Amino acid sequence: MSFDSIVKVFCSYLSSGRQDSNLVLNVKVQRWGDDTKYVAKVLTRAFDCDLALLSVENKQFWKGAKPIPLGHLPHLQDEVTVVGYPISEHSISVTKGIVSRIEVKSYGQGASNLLCIQIDAAINHGNHGGPVFNNHGECIGVAFRGVLVRRVEPTSSAKNVLKQGDLIVSFDEVPVSFAGTVPFRSNELVGLDHLVSQKFVGDKVALGIIRAGDFMKVEMVLNTQVSYYDDEHWSSYLVIGGLMFTPLSESLIQEGQCSLGLEAKARYTLPSFKGEQIVILFKVLPNELNVGYEHLNTLQVLKFHGTRIRNIRHLTYLIDRCEDKFLVFEFENNFIAVLERGAAMDTQYEISDDLL
């Protein structure tokens, strides 16, 4: 297997100096065994599969280069070789392994789910982006790893530690694979969540990350996870004009009183601040004021008169101080309910004492 055609890619962003201008991607490439860096042109970028097609105009770069043949999809247990340049290194890294799984996954920052080959070969920091060869010297894919940070929740332990776009490659010195798995016992793999579950509030975690192409180590202290709901106050509610509002709770989720989308939001995302709740229209009680709004049951109410609702107490505050002729509630999926304020205030209006 010849490495004459393996290149190292350097990427950076340049600004023209104008505050309103877009950043320009600057790419240089370096061949194995050559100290010269050549300017490359980006012909196209495929964000869905996290790949780009480059070209180099300097003919000296192509001298002696040979095309790499492409191979077919490997089978389970087939041997493979991963080639690449570890970060801050000038020599090629070569590791071997076998194909352990073939499935559909999301590629790095890509939004599409595409075919993915999982291998047990070590992929060093910076090796991702390098070719993977079969025993015939044919390229069967491009290596990538890590757990990509797509978003840092404002109330999470990682708020001031991680940034969007960071690539997590180790957890307390344990390497994290591209599939988000870590070694477990002998020749077994489990999800990274297993290591997280072994930690307690107040514990420190050392993370190895790649940020803007550079490897670094960061440390964070785990705090208590803030939830959208607190079942201590699950019975809190507000009724106005026959519309019954209540915070989404674990009890309501278990009873199937919300959509799958709201359940996923409550379980798998974190609130933007402590005390934020998902307020839903729990029931539409029979009343002449709300005729035609029966279909809004279990929808999340997002805004009142254009103001985003923080929790059930905030919604109560906004209604109490509204002096407009009509009460306007905005729900998810662009639904709106409008009640005549005077008539609505004359109907039963209750709030549980623990929210006052």
pLDDT tens digit sequence for 117-159 = 877 766 655 566 788 899 998 998 887 767 778 778 777 888 8
What's the pLDDT score for residue 237? 83
290, pLDDT greater than 90 = no
Place of tokens 């999926």: 333
**Is the confidence at residue 268, as pLDDT, over 90?**
no
To the nearest whole percent, how much of the chain has pLDDT over 70? 79
Token readout for 279 is 């307020």
Task: Point out the least confidently predicted range of 30-44, 204-218, 256-270, 322-336.
Answer: 256-270
pLDDT-derived band at 325 (thresholds 50, 70, 90) equals: very high
Type of residue at 200: F
The residue type of 70 is L
Nearest to 2 by CA among 55, 64, 61: 64
pLDDT higher than threshold 80 for residue 105 = no
Split at pLDDT 50, 70, 90, the class of 302 is: very high
Confidence of residue 217 (pLDDT cuts 50, 70, 90): very high
- The structure tokens listed for 200 are 């307690």
Which pLDDT value is given to residue 57?
A: 92
Q: Is the pLDDT of residue 87 over 60?
A: no
CA atoms within 13 A on the CB side of 169: 23
3-class SS string, 201-246: CCCEEEEEEEECCEEEEEEEECCCCCCCCCHHHCCCCEEECCEEEE
- Supply the DSSP string of 140-168, one letter for each residue: EEE---SEE-----TTSTTTTT--TT-EE
Determine the distance from the C-alpha atom of residue 73 to the mean position of all C-alpha atoms in its chain, rounded to a whole number: 28
Residues 318-331 have a mean pLDDT of 93
Residues 312 and 271: beta-carbon distance below 8 Å: no
At residue 206, the pLDDT reads 93
Indicate if the pLDDT at residue 15 is higher than 70. Answer: no
Check the CA dihedral 130-134-137-138 and report its sign: negative
Range from 43-57, 276-290, 314-328 carrying the lowest mean pLDDT: 43-57
DSSP of 72-83, one letter per residue?
PPP-TT-EEEEE
Model pLDDT, residue 227 = 67
Q: What pLDDT score does 356 carry?
A: 39
The 10s digit of each residue's pLDDT in 60-84 is 988 888 888 999 999 988 999 888 7
Whole-number pLDDT of residue 121: 64
Mean confidence (pLDDT) of the chain: 79
In this model, does residue 242 exceed pLDDT 50? yes
pTM of structure: 0.47
Q: What is the pLDDT of residue 19?
A: 38
Mean predicted confidence (pLDDT) in 12-34: 59
Q: What backbone torsions phi and psi does residue 312 show, to the nearest 5 degrees?
A: -65, -35
Of 64, 66, 74, nearest in space to 136 by CA? 74
Give the pLDDT band (50/70/90) at residue 331. very high
